């Protein structure tokens, strides 16, 4: 098969997610309503607490990161969630696609949606709260976004694995995992305030390092970006391998058939 | 022999010629499958299935609910894997060449489901992309399938708004998107009204005839299997309990239409037993049950009553044997799956 055919196998998931999203009224909530509620809540809280500009940046970076993480991860998870909800998962896995086609295609759409949300939130936070997301230039922004999107892909893959392992009820994982990330990776506070066990867990999450890196633009401090990049690449690779294994296991257990009935 | 009978024979000749240069569509040996629950005992769904499907054949899998038809089709299509046994699809190894197999097969499932909010055209485009189609070729295939399956009026209708019949048609159109060499149809007429069922069967025959592809279909419906299939395997409790052509199965099992005549007066029962197309006669006082071979599409080929004028002549001959008697009641019952299984269970 030539490269165009191979490319279309990736784009198939992005195409399905795009069509489904544009016809879903809840997309408006996902892209605008909840992100704005989150940003405005945190922004107004900083005013109430009369924190300085660097702390405003710290909190708004967390709010923006969490929002685009949630948007992008759900897009990756949607690649199987939509199939599971419509009971059409059988048709996907009868075709000659591999796990990476599905994940990267859906992640591509998640990156587009996440970038749109980032643009909106960055603009609003600049206008209302004086937060300049480009203070360190464009490269740190791109690195930060790259890290958030990689983490989103890993969470989305984890949701897909849980669907293929536990079946219909596993979609709760889609809504829960980003909450756990919120708690552990220092979205609204430095990880140093966490209990030792959770601090250790935070050090295993690439998002922790990408947040530290981006925040170091606004509040000078140490960061370990290379560790974050390594962990993100490692989890992505591990996630894809585990997803491939989960698909094969689902074919052996017959859960793929039950998910279509 | 009628025209349709000639058609079938011609198809056989073509197929036989084809077989000499092509692989069998399916070769299965010792296929077994169990489903395991978390705590409960594993349930055996298929046991030791041995099966060959010839290239160019329409092969039927018949059986009641839970007999393992869908599981077997799912294994053949590599959607799920068997516990044990070997499988070859179109000459490709069912264990080592699954990716290659998926490129040359496709499936239309019972109770077809697709992403709800995608339209007919979008669904076809999406699945075309999953098969690696692109550019104008993809658009052309989508347009071709929409035209071939008469979905033009519903092209922009979302899947969730389609009727059951249209969903089934879309499902078969999707199954043809990659021009498969082997097509699996899992209960293609379940839930359809008689008119739509007939259209679907015509569609299957047309696909098979025009594209010369092998078809494995499962059905509950005996006349459907008879009409479409070259050979049939009966599944019961995960095992094949009979496998042959519809005609031979009916002969072996002495199954056919059951004509029951209740009468008063003399009737030549012995002559009835000698009549062509009569598979069996069960007589009691004033009542006789006659098992008739309706045969294929021809008019009484080789002893069958056939259809149309041939069938009418055969029935006329039977009724004439009761000319000295007074017929009080007369019923005709088509053989159904239940009859087959009752016979197979004896």
Instruction: List strands edge to edge, sheet with B182-186.
Output: B105-108, B182-186, B214-219, B58-62, B231-236, B239-244
Residue A214 distance to chain B (closest CA, Å) = 38
Write down the pLDDT at residue A27.
Answer: 80
Who among B79, B106, B127 is closest to A251 (CB)?
B79
Q: What is the full DSSP assignment across A162-196? A: HHHHH-GGGGHHHHHHHHHHHHHTTSSS-GGGS-H
B108 Cβ under 8 Å from any chain A Cβ: no
Residue A225 has pLDDT above 90, yes or no: yes
Distance CA B276, CA B274 (A): 6
Q: Nearest-CA residue of chain A relative to B79?
A: A94
Interface contact flag, A7 B134, Cβ < 8 Å: yes
What is the per-residue pLDDT across B193-224, written as a single tens digit (0 to 9) for each? Answer: 788 788 888 888 888 888 889 999 998 877 78
What is the per-residue pLDDT across A203-216, written as a single tens digit (0 to 9) for each? Answer: 999 999 999 999 99
Highest mean pLDDT among A168-177, B118-127, B308-317: B118-127
Write down the pLDDT at residue A28.
Answer: 79
B214 Cβ under 8 Å from any chain A Cβ: no
Write down the pLDDT at residue B18.
Answer: 37
Taking only Cα atoms into account, the Rg of chain B, rounded to an integer number of angstroms, comes to: 23
Angle (CA) B273-B275-B279 rounded to 5° is 60
Backbone angles phi, psi at B335, to 5 degrees: -70, 140
Interface test with A, best of B44, B80, B176 (most A CBs within 10 A): B80
What is the value of ipTM here, to two decimals? 0.90
Write down the pLDDT at residue B306.
Answer: 52
pTM: 0.81
A17 Cβ under 8 Å from any chain B Cβ: no
Write down the pLDDT at residue B2.
Answer: 33
Distance CA B63, CA B238 (A): 9
Residue B148 distance to chain A (closest CA, Å) = 21
A172 Cβ under 8 Å from any chain B Cβ: no
Interface contact flag, B71 A254, Cβ < 8 Å: yes
Write down the pLDDT at residue B272.
Answer: 85
- The pLDDT mean for chain B works out to 82
Interface contact flag, B79 A252, Cβ < 8 Å: no
Of chain B residues 25-64, which have a CB less than 8 A from chain A? Answer: 33, 35-36
Write down the pLDDT at residue B341.
Answer: 58
Backbone angles phi, psi at A256, to 5 degrees: -60, -35
- Between these two residues, B337 and B317, which has the higher pLDDT value? B317
Interface test with A, best of B132, B139, B216, B238 (most A CBs within 10 A): B132
Partners of B125 on chain A (C-beta within 8 Å) are 15
Q: In the structure encoding, which two tokens stand for residue A100, read together?
A: 């990476």
Q: Confirm if A75 and A109 have CB atoms less than 8 A apart.
A: yes
Tell me which of A42-46, A165-169, B124-128, B290-294 is least confident: B290-294
Who among A5, A93, A96 is closest to B99 (CB)?
A96
Residue B28 has pLDDT above 90, yes or no: yes
Residue A100 has pLDDT above 90, yes or no: yes
Count of alpha carbons within 13 Å of B192, Cβ hemisphere only?
Answer: 25
Interface contact flag, B131 A95, Cβ < 8 Å: yes
pLDDT band at residue B296 using 50, 70 and 90 as cut-offs: very low
* DSSP label of A32: I
Write down the pLDDT at residue B36.
Answer: 79
What is the per-residue pLDDT across B98-154, written as a single tens digit (0 to 9) for each? Answer: 999 999 999 998 788 999 999 999 999 999 999 999 999 999 999 999 998 889 999
Interface contact flag, B132 A1, Cβ < 8 Å: yes
Interface contact flag, B126 A260, Cβ < 8 Å: no
Partners of A82 on chain B (C-beta within 8 Å) are 115
What is the per-residue pLDDT across B14-25, written as a single tens digit (0 to 9) for each? Answer: 333 334 345 899
Cβ contacts below 8 Å, chain A against chain B, sum to: 106
Interface contact flag, B115 A88, Cβ < 8 Å: yes
Cα torsion B202, B205, B211, B215: sign:
positive
Residue B335 distance to chain A (closest CA, Å) = 30
Number of residues in chain B: 346
Of chain A residues 79-118, which have a CB less than 8 A from chain B? Answer: 82-83, 86-88, 90-97, 101
Interface contact flag, B115 A83, Cβ < 8 Å: yes
Write down the pLDDT at residue A122.
Answer: 93
Cα torsion B169, B170, B173, B175: sign:
negative
A5 Cβ under 8 Å from any chain B Cβ: yes
- Between these two residues, B227 and B157, which has the higher pLDDT value? B157
* DSSP label of B41: P
Partners of A7 on chain B (C-beta within 8 Å) are 134
Interface contact flag, A88 B35, Cβ < 8 Å: no
Interface contact flag, A6 B132, Cβ < 8 Å: yes
Question: What residues contact B327, with CB distance under 8 A and at least 6 apart?
Answer: B261, B262, B263, B319
What is the rounded average pLDDT of the residues A131-155?
A: 92
Q: In the structure encoding, which two tokens stand for residue B255, read together?
A: 């199954």
Write down the pLDDT at residue B4.
Answer: 34
Distance CA B88, CA B90 (A): 6
Write down the pLDDT at residue B195.
Answer: 81
Question: What residues contact B87, with CB distance under 8 A and at least 6 apart?
Answer: B26, B27, B28, B29, B31, B75, B76, B93, B94, B95
Write down the pLDDT at residue B8.
Answer: 36
What is the rounded average pLDDT of the residues A88-106?
A: 93
Residue B84 has pLDDT above 70, yes or no: yes
Write down the pLDDT at residue B295.
Answer: 55
B69 Cβ under 8 Å from any chain A Cβ: no
Q: In the structure encoding, which two tokens stand for residue A163, read together?
A: 């669907």
Distance CA B90, CA B72 (A): 16
Write down the pLDDT at residue B16.
Answer: 34
What is the rounded average pLDDT of the residues B51-66?
A: 91
What is the rounded average pLDDT of the residues B38-44?
A: 78
Q: Nearest-CA residue of chain A relative to B74?
A: A257
Write down the pLDDT at residue A174.
Answer: 67
**Residue owning tokens 């919120």:** A182
A25 Cβ under 8 Å from any chain B Cβ: no
A27 Cβ under 8 Å from any chain B Cβ: no
Q: Which of B269, B280, B267, B273 is nearest to B335 (CA)?
A: B280
Residue B287 has pLDDT above 70, yes or no: yes
Tell me which of A85-99, A147-161, B169-183, B288-302 is least confident: B288-302
Question: What residues contact A162, with CB distance under 8 A and at least 6 apart?
Answer: A170, A173
Tell me which of A189-193, B6-10, B153-157 is least confident: B6-10
């Amino acid at each position: 098969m030539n490269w165009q055919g191979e490319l279309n196998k990736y784009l198939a998931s992005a195409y399905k997610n795009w069509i489904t999203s544009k016809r879903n009224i809840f997309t408006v909530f996902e892209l605008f309503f909840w992100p704005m509620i989150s940003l405005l809540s945190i922004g107004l809280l900083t005013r109430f607490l009369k924190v300085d500009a660097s702390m405003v940046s710290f909190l708004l970076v967390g709010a923006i990161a969490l929002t685009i993480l949630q948007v992008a991860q759900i897009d990756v998870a949607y690649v199987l969630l939509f199939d599971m909800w419509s009971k059409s998962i059988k048709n996907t896995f009868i075709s000659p696609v591999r796990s990476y086609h599905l994940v990267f295609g859906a992640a591509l759409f998640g990156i587009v949606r996440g970038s749109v949300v980032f643009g909106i939130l960055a603009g609003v936070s600049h206008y209302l709260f004086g937060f300049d997301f480009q203070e360190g230039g464009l490269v740190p922004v791109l690195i930060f976004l790259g890290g958030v999107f990689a983490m989103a892909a890993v969470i989305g893959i984890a949701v897909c694995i849980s669907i293929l392992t536990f079946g219909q009820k596993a979609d709760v994982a889609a809504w829960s995992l980003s909450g756990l990330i919120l708690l552990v990776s220092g979205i609204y506070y430095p990880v140093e305030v966490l209990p030792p066990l959770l601090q250790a867990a935070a050090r295993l999450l690439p998002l922790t390092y990408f947040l530290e890196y981006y925040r170091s633009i606004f509040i000078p401090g140490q960061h370990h970006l290379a560790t974050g990049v390594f962990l993100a690449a490692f989890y992505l690779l591990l996630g894809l391998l585990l997803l491939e294994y989960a698909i094969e296991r689902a074919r052996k257990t017959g859960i793929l058939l039950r998910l279509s009935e | 022999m009628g025209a349709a009978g000639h058609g079938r024979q011609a198809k056989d000749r073509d197929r036989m010629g084809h077989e000499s240069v092509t692989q069998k569509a399916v070769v299965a040996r010792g296929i077994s499958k169990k489903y395991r629950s978390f705590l409960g005992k594993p349930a055996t769904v298929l046991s030791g299935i041995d099966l060959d499907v010839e290239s160019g054949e329409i092969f039927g899998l018949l059986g009641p609910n839970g007999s393992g038809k869908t599981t077997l089709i799912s294994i053949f299509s590599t959607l799920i894997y068997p516990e044990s046994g070997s499988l070859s699809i179109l000459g490709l190894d069912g264990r080592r060449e699954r990716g290659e197999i998926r490129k040359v097969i496709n499936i239309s499932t019972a109770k077809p489901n697709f992403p709800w909010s995608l339209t007919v055209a979008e669904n076809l485009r999406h699945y075309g992309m999953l098969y690696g189609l692109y550019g104008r070729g993809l658009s052309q295939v989508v347009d071709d399938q929409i035209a071939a399956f008469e979905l033009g009026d519903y092209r922009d209708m979302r899947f969730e708004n389609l009727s059951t019949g249209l969903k089934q048609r879309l499902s078969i159109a999707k199954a043809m998107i990659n021009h498969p060499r082997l097509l699996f149809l899992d209960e293609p007429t379940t839930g359809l009204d008689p008119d739509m069922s007939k259209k679907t069967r015509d569609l299957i025959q047309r696909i098979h005839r025009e594209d010369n592809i092998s078809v494995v279909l499962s059905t509950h419906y005996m006349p459907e299997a008879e009409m479409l299939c070259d050979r049939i395997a009966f599944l019961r409790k995960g095992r094949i309990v009979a496998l042959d052509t519809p005609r031979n199965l009916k002969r072996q099992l002495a199954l056919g239409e059951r004509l029951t005549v209740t009468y008063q007066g003399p009737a030549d029962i012995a002559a009835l037993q000698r009549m062509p197309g009569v598979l069996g006669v069960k007589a009691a006082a004033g009542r006789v049950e006659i098992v008739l071979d309706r045969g294929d599409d021809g008019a009484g080929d080789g002893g069958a009553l056939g259809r149309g004028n041939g069938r009418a002549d055969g029935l006329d001959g039977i009724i004439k044997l009761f000319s000295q008697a007074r017929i009080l009641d007369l019923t005709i019952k088509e053989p159904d799956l239940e009859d087959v299984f009752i016979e197979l269970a004896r």
